Each structure stands twice: as structure tokens, then as C-alpha cells.
Amino acid sequence: MDLLLIGGVSGSGKNVALGALEDSGYYAVNNLPMSLVELTATYLANAGRKRVAIAIDAKIAPGLAGLAATIERLREIGWSVRFLYLDAKTDTLVKRFSETRRRHPFSSPERTLTEAIDFERALLVDARPIGFTFDTSETSAVALRSWIKDFASVDAGRLTLQLESFGFKHGVPLDADLVFDVRCLANPHYEPKLQPLTGRDLPVVAFLEKEPAVEKMYTDIEKFISTWLPEYARDNRNYLTVAIGCTGGRHRSVYLVERLAKAFSAHNQVLIRHRELG
């Protein structure tokens, strides 16, 4: 059975993710207490369900206590288990709760909304490193659904390399394992004809490929990832997120991510995310 567990901070998009997985053929269970995950997974497997997605309720088992042990037990009896941790910046979460007028699950008369978010984040600090973290701060619901479907399609038994472009002016992604800063390269944004385009468009590609520094930057990043990716795999890592940032996240970083993805996809599982392109 393919079991995908979803956790993370409230307001980060867990319901959207669960809906996308249900659309992809998973049997979806929402807000399940941690203590019932193993029992529910076993029941559904016996009922013939091959793909199951469970969003875990952190209120009943604060901090998702027992998560690592549960995953280990399920894997020992032959099940493929993945844990996806969704996160978002505090100011983004405040905005989402304010716009939807939802009550934060850890709010109380003694806690402000920001304090409730911080309280939940502290509870989950030990669960976060167990799975793959995805930062939804700058991600629309449509983009999140698309990424979730891509994530669900990869082989859980192999290391997945996620290449992510972003703009520094919007903040560094929370889910990045490695960050490369390419703001020192020539910027197509200052060319009027190139400004509305992205690093996927041929005129921008042609502009960047004329710059020797761009080629050197690409070569250095490609060599670094090639050298260390096997070491991350030997460390039993299932996911590695490499984030490449320029100023706005639309030209230089996008170009380099696309080019690196082509180079690594021949022999690796690769996911692409262009955060600022939505």
C-alpha cells in the first residue's frame, strides 16, 4: 500500500493537498488522530485500498507524537510510507486566517493569532524533519494542487531532487536544503523587451547564454549537486530541495532551474517548482 501522511501548520494548505490526492486516486482521510493512523491504514489495506492519504490532526496528539515510530512499523511490514509537512510564513498564515475568518485550532482567550501560530509551530518542531517540507507561502491553491499531484507520482523508494526558483525580494523558501544566490548575474529584467518574459522564454535564454558568468555559475552549481547528491542518497534522504534565487525569481533563477532539471532528470527523479511564476 502507498500511504501518504500529511501534517504541518494550520492554514498551510493541508485540505487542498488532501483534495488533490483524492483527485489522483487516493482514498482520503482527514483530521485523523495520530493514535489511529496505524489501525486505519491496516483496515484500509485489508479492505483493498492500495493508495491512501491521511491528514493527521495535531491537536489530539500534540506535536504528532509517535509519528516516527508509526512510520517505521508500517515500513517494516512492507508498506511505502511518505510524510509531507506543509509550512508557510507566519505573516502568510495570519493573512489567510484573517481573510477566511477561520479560528485557529490553538487560539484561546489568552493567545493572539500570532501566538497561536507560534505555539503550534513549536509543538511540531520535532515532526518537521521526519518528512518532506513544502513551503506554501507564495503558492496559490491551483499551483499547490498541481505540485501535489507531481509529488505523489514519484517513486518513494528513490531520492527525489526538487529544483526550486525564487525571488529574494519575496523571502527565502522555508523548505530549501541548499540555496544558491545568482543575483550577481546580468539581469534580463532591465531589458524592456525581456522584462515581461520569464527564464523559460527563448529570448531570455539567448540573453543569458551570451553571458560567460552565467555559464560558469551553471557549471559550478551542476558540479556541486553532482558531487554531493550521492552522499545525500547514502544518508537515506528521500528528498533534497535545491533553491536558486535571483531578485524577482522570474528570469535568471528560472533559467538555471530549467537547465539543471534537464541535466539531472536523465538519471534522477526531479521535481520543478517556480515559486514566483505561480
Residue spans of the domains in the chain: they are: 2-153, 161-277
pTM: 0.83
176's enclosing H/E stretch is none
CATH pick for 2-153 out of 3.30.1330.40, 3.40.50.300, 3.40.50.170, 1.10.1050.10:
3.40.50.300
Q: Which of 110, 104, 134 is nearest to 239 (CA)?
A: 134
Q: Which of 209, 210, 205 is nearest to 251 (CA)?
A: 205
Q: How far apart, in whole angstroms, are the C-alpha atoms of residue 225 and residue 27?
A: 36
Q: How far apart, in whole angstroms, are the C-alpha atoms of residue 49 and residue 79?
A: 12
Q: In what order do the strands lie in the sheet with 2-8?
A: 27-33, 51-57, 2-8, 80-87, 132-135
Q: How far apart, in whole angstroms, are the C-alpha atoms of residue 77 and residue 197?
A: 50
Provide the residue-wise pLDDT of the chain in tens; the chain has 278 residues: 899 999 999 999 999 999 999 999 999 999 999 889 999 999 998 999 999 999 998 887 777 888 999 999 999 888 899 999 999 999 999 999 988 888 899 988 889 999 999 999 999 999 999 989 999 998 999 999 999 999 998 887 788 999 999 999 999 999 999 999 999 999 999 999 999 999 999 999 999 999 999 999 999 999 999 999 999 988 878 899 999 999 999 999 999 999 999 999 999 999 999 999 97
